[in-house]
Amino acid sequence: MSGANVCAGGIRQHYLRYRSEGSPLVLVPGITSPAVTWGFVAERLSARFDVYVLDVRGRGLSSTGPTLSYDLDTLAADLVAFADRLDLDRVTVLGHSMGARIAIRAAARNAMRFAQLILVDPPVSGPNRRPYPSNLSWYVDSIRKAETGMDSEEVRAFCPTWSDEHLALRAEWLHTCFLPAIVTAFEGFHTDDIHMDIPKLEVPTALMVAGRGGVIEQRDEDEIRSLNAKIRIARVPAAGHMIPWDDFEGFFAAIDELVGTDLAKAR
């Protein structure tokens, strides 16, 4: 694994690379997940892909602060700019939660760089839809604690099922999540209509759904299929929204089912 920074989209974009001889894959994390917290997933993915894990602006070591924009269109443009800057051709994008919404918007508007999308439990809230099942206060309270310093046991109050290793990483890195960026993303879950983008997805697209957590329900799957019948869907029944944290092997089994890899065997 190595880390690097590039200037792309007018900002510093930091990423971690898990190099292999495979085709390129860009992993775009969720709303409060710096790149380093996805390292345990990237290591397994590197058995098949040359993996780049992004710090989305306002998180981790990428550009941040009050002068930047954090809306979905800007984040999607960052992803395209990153792929262009590194000349990543025919790239797979694996996005989790907010990262999946970024991937949807980016591919709907500029699909030339993308070979396929793997969308992991994206919020399907939006205008005139039911709200995202998590509360904004959960993010605000945890980040404010992190800004003053918090330890693993304090993180456990917010993430009670996580391992000690993952609690420690979150305690170390959560303070890098710029609170206004998080608030903008959360509000965007309710104001941005990603459903209008789904029919525009021309690249092969796979959707992974958490069996627990209520982010994507059966009626949402049915609607997504009605909007784009080519989207392949697999469920991970035992997992909540943070799928690889809840069912690590189930996460890779679902990827194998969706895109024909053999990652579940790469232990």
For residue 190, the tally of other CB atoms under 10 A from its CB is 16
Residue 227's alpha-carbon distances to 93, 113, 115, 124, in angstroms, are 20, 23, 20, 13
* Among 33, 46, 62, 97, the one annotated catalytic: 97
Active site residue 97: yes
Residues 6 or more apart from 75 whose CB is under 8 A from it? 56, 57, 98, 102, 105, 185
Q: Of 153, 217, 226, 249, which residue is the catalytic one? A: 217
Dihedral pair phi/psi, residue 118, rounded to 5°: -120, 110
Question: Residues near 211 by Cβ (< 8 Å), separated by ≥ 6?
Answer: 235, 236, 237, 238, 239
Tokens at 234, concatenated = 């697999």
Active site residue 217: yes
The catalytic site residues sit at 97, 217, 241
